[in-house]
Chain A
């Protein structure tokens, strides 16, 4: 079965970790993830600049490894990302910003990608809140 998974919460929220654990279980159970979509504060999951305390799970890194290892389609909402300072190189150049924090395998794109994922997948599962 095809899953679309949307993450609305920042990495410091437990729901962000639950989303990752759920996504891992989806693949472990033999299903597929057609798209991961990061929205609202969830866009911080794609940041390469976030520093996590040594005794805590580094979720941006864990997401990065998970997406890379399984070659997943991982979309970050561009409007939510820009307003939170999570830019890729192209957006940093477009808006004359000094640095950028979103790199491959993440893709910045529009909310339409969530709609598309919801339509094509068998299930859309959203993770947000605490």
Chain B
């Protein structure tokens, strides 16, 4: 993974996810945290956009934030739920981590 992108803003009130999906590289990863996991809301355009990303883009979501929003049982197949130890490991797998502050 070249760059791991870190998002925390809700995609329904903010353009960061849209901007991120425009610039994300073919071998980058995207980790949704906080309200950014709302992009996985079933039926949403944001979820569709994520499902249509090139296969090389790895998608992750922080487990505790999925559970807090009851999205843990309806994840798209390509989205992996990660805990904090896995978050740390992902940040080391990537060459660098880019937080969309």
B91–A125 touching, CB < 8 Å: yes
Interface size on B, residues (CB 8 A): 20
**Interface centre among A15, A31, A128, A129, by most B CB within 10 Å?**
A129
Tell me whether A127 and B10 are in contact in the complex, defined as CB-CB below 8 angstroms, given that A25-B87, A25-B88, A29-B89 are known contacts: no
Tell me whether A1 and B99 are in contact in the complex, defined as CB-CB below 8 angstroms, given that A14-B34, A18-B34 are known contacts: no
Mostly, the B contact residues are mixed
A128 to chain B, nearest CB (A): 4
B99–A126 touching, CB < 8 Å: yes
* Cβ 8 A contact of A25, one of B6, B9, B85: B85
B96–A22 touching, CB < 8 Å: no
* Cβ 8 A contact of B85, one of A15, A28, A126, A128: A28
Chain A interface size band reads 20 to 34
A25–B84 touching, CB < 8 Å: yes
* Cβ 8 A contact of A123, one of B9, B85, B96, B101: B96
Closest B-chain residue to A25, C-beta based?
Answer: B84
* Cβ 8 A contact of A125, one of B9, B85, B97, B100: B97
A9 to chain B, nearest CB (A): 8
Within 8 A of A (CB), among B46-92: 62, 84-85, 87-89, 91-92
A104 to chain B, nearest CB (A): 27
Q: List 21 A-B contacts (CB under 8 A).
A: A14-B34, A15-B8, A21-B84, A22-B84, A22-B87, A22-B88, A25-B84, A26-B88, A29-B85, A31-B92, A123-B91, A125-B6, A125-B97, A126-B97, A126-B99, A128-B8, A128-B99, A129-B8, A129-B9, A129-B100, A130-B35
